[in-house]
Homo-oligomer: A and B are copies of this chain.
């Protein structure tokens, strides 16, 4: 694998009709930028870092890093998440690649945006040698951001709403056993709309991968709610049929 970078000087993809030496093509870099959304009690947040180095020192930014020469894109995104939160096994989803020529002051760097959704309480954001600070910001109050990160965040917020209805990334923000009210509130927060409780429940009731348990809430000052759990095996069949929640 190492010698994958021992580049010959011969043509790679096409004859060089524009007279640019092939070397010129191998002088760019790519990064991943991670939009880590956090959910907690009907609030949607995003994890931002305060940059510790130039360019854009002191600016708030999305956590991200250059991809190492022998590192897969997905692995780089997972690494950034892990560095910052110590979390692993949280699925990161690729959203879009941003590649404007002048987006990075130090050279040609295109960046691949990823998103994840986590429970705010599961994380103690770590500062590091590349970030002076790391903090949750409400999605409603985002400071000025470095690079083109504002645009990246916007695109990823839109993508989150699309992904949440077809992929069970929400399992990371609910307890293993959850009530239908918790489930509904989570969707209401992320999709930014409200649902009638009775009707919402009716739709859910047909969905087999949400399995009702024989347990109920305790110590609540009202009728206790039944508890449900997500069944990944049953979900698989739904996914193959192209299931999406149609709210």
Q: Which residues from 199 to 225 on chain A have a C-beta closer than 8 Å to any C-beta of chain B?
A: none
B70 touching A5, Cβ below 8 Å? no
Q: Chain copies in the assembly?
A: 2
Residues on A close to B: CB < 8 A?
A: 1, 4-5, 7-8, 10-15, 17-18, 20, 24-31, 53-54, 64-74, 94, 96-97, 99-102, 104-110, 112, 129-130
**Shortest Cβ distance from A54 into B: residue:** B10
B1 touching A102, Cβ below 8 Å? yes
Identify A64's interface contact among B13, B72, B110, CB under 8 A.
B13
B26 touching A27, Cβ below 8 Å? yes
B99 touching A20, Cβ below 8 Å? no
Identify A29's interface contact among B28, B100, B112, CB under 8 A.
B28
A69 touching B10, Cβ below 8 Å? no
B72 touching A101, Cβ below 8 Å? yes
B66 touching A17, Cβ below 8 Å? no
Residues of B within 8 A of A20 (CB): 68-69
Residues of B within 8 A of A4 (CB): 101-102, 105, 107-108
Q: List 26 A-B contacts (CB under 8 A).
A: A4-B108, A7-B106, A11-B53, A13-B53, A13-B66, A14-B53, A15-B53, A15-B129, A15-B130, A17-B129, A20-B69, A24-B69, A25-B29, A25-B67, A25-B68, A26-B107, A27-B27, A28-B69, A30-B99, A70-B101, A72-B101, A73-B97, A73-B110, A94-B97, A97-B97, A110-B112
A107 touching B7, Cβ below 8 Å? yes
Please give the distance in Å from A85's CB to the nearest CB on chain B.
16
A28 and B70 CA atoms in complex are apart in Å by 11
A94 and B100 CA atoms in complex are apart in Å by 13
B17 touching A31, Cβ below 8 Å? no
Please give the distance in Å from A111's CB to the nearest CB on chain B.
10
Residues of B within 8 A of A73 (CB): 97, 99, 110
A102 and B5 CA atoms in complex are apart in Å by 10
B1 touching A101, Cβ below 8 Å? yes
**Shortest Cβ distance from A106 into B: residue:** B12
A107 touching B53, Cβ below 8 Å? no
Residues of B within 8 A of A96 (CB): 94
